[in-house]
Amino acid sequence: MITTLFFYYFSAATIVSAVLTVALRNPVQCGLALLSVLAHMAGFFVLLNAEFIAAIQVIVYAGAILILYLFVIMLLNLKSEERILHPRWALALFFIAIAAGELLILLLISPFAGKLGLVDPDTVAGVGHSHAVGLKLFSDYLLQFEIIGVFLLGAVIGAIVLAKSSQGMTRQ
């Protein structure tokens, strides 16, 4: 019962945050709405008993990648007018209501509603989530892991160089 309530909460919060991500005009507010989407998606992973994947979701996506997005937004120094209500919001809300109604009908009439998955829980528990991922990552995919680290280091250095050169141009 409580997991059902959490599922509905995460669903509603994710949908509202996703709509705000694309509807808001201020880029920083869009980034914060995206942070809310990613955090609530991690909640779905917790409900699925995949705590390791939820932690990776928060650390990698909500932590590292979203911070890079916010750095780019701040480096670009985007100026936009704050206008939340748009004349087409009524039309957009109408189509959103129709899509939500169709989704609700689909979920209530679906032959798969309420059925559990076919995976045996004992099989999932025997795998050893984080240990197996760590062994695979640092044995079979070590080269790819190191190459991605070098690329990310290059991206950080490039962002610093661009920020320094743009600061020098504004002072002249």
**What are 139-167's pLDDT values in tens digits?**
778 888 888 888 888 888 887 887 777 66
Return the half-sphere exposure (C-beta side, CA atoms, 13 A cut-off) of residue 16: 8
- Supply the pTM of this predicted model: 0.55
* Tens digit of each residue's pLDDT (9 = 90 or more) over 109-134: 766 566 555 545 554 456 556 666 67
Backbone angles phi, psi at 28, to 5 degrees: -70, -40
Domain boundaries, the chain: 2-140
* Tens digit of each residue's pLDDT (9 = 90 or more) over 8-51: 999 999 999 999 988 887 878 888 888 899 999 998 888 887 78
| Closest CA relative to residue 125, chosen from 50, 41, 54 | 50
Contact 37, 65 (CB under 8 A): no
| Closest CA relative to residue 17, chosen from 31, 1, 2 | 31
Q: Looking at domain 2-140, which of 3.90.550.10, 1.20.120.1200, 3.40.50.720, 3.30.428.10 is its CATH number? A: 1.20.120.1200
